[in-house]
Amino acid sequence: MAVSVLMVLVIWLLSVSEVISQCPPSSGIYLRHNGTCYPNGSYFPDNSIRPTPLRCALLGATLNGGQWIGPNGTVPCDGGNNVNVQCTTGSGASLSVFINSPSYLGADGDGWYKCCLPTDCSDPNTNIIFANIFSKRRL
């Protein structure tokens, strides 16, 4: 157990240290949090996306049904209800996920999230990027 916790922490620290300086337009779909771009597969503790949403965007595209999918299935956007995470639509082709305060990520929401833009994940031509959102309280 302690080894797996240490492994998650090491992986998260590595993903944070590999923050990329290349943000759009050269990188296509991207993750942005607190003004910094992150590579595909980055890790984010739930307490970091409570005050500041994690944004997925595709420069120069128009949103046509894009979506976030997590361990519990599709994350509802703009007024949908989900125990773990919520989604909001941004300008252009962008979607953000966040956790309402004072909530934390439930065990069933811990894990990989997939963002698909500008269309939903069933479209084989959509752009996809992954983020791991985990509960820092369970480490």
Question: 24: number of CA atoms within 13 Å, CB side?
Answer: 15
Burial of 3 (0-12, 13-18, 19+ CB in 10 A): exposed
In this structure, of 7-11, 45-49, 85-89, 117-121, the range with the lowest mean pLDDT score is: 7-11
Sheet with 73-74: strands ordered across: 42-45, 127-134, 111-117, 67-70, 73-74
Domains, the chain, with CATH or none: 2-138 (2.60.40.10)
Token pair belonging to 96 = 């953000």
37 — pLDDT class (breaks 50, 70, 90): very high
pLDDT tens digits for 106-125?
Answer: 888 889 999 999 999 999 99
44 — pLDDT class (breaks 50, 70, 90): very high
pLDDT of the residue at 38: 93
The more confidently predicted of residues 5 and 69 is 69
- Kindly compute the dihedral angle of the four CA atoms of residues 83, 85, 88, 92, in this order, to the nearest 10 degrees: -150
